[in-house]
Amino acid sequence: MRAKIAAQEAAEPRPAGMPVWRCKVCGYLCAREKPPGVCPICKAQRERFEIFHFTDGG
């Protein structure tokens, strides 16, 4: 579970000061000012996205 998130984080490094959005349906992560209109992975609507908080350890 954590490993999958770590892999996506490595694939898409987050720019400084840019919020990271997470699709609550499939777990897709993207760093941008606003969430995508539709998830490119599962086609979930924007409202399905939430701010993703990176944590060190745990």
The minimum distance between CB 5 and Zn ion, in angstroms, equals 13
Contact positions with Zn ion (CB under 5 A) in 6-25: 23, 25
**3-class DSSP state of 46:** helix
Indicate which single residue of 7, 41, 45, 46 sits in contact with Zn ion (rule: CB under 5 A).
41
**The two structure tokens encoding residue 1:** 């579970």
Residue type, 49: F
The whole-angstrom separation of Cα 43 and Cα 37 is 9
46 is a contact residue toward Zn ion (CB under 5 A)? no
Residues that bind Zn ion (CB under 5 A): 23, 25-26, 28, 39, 41-42, 44
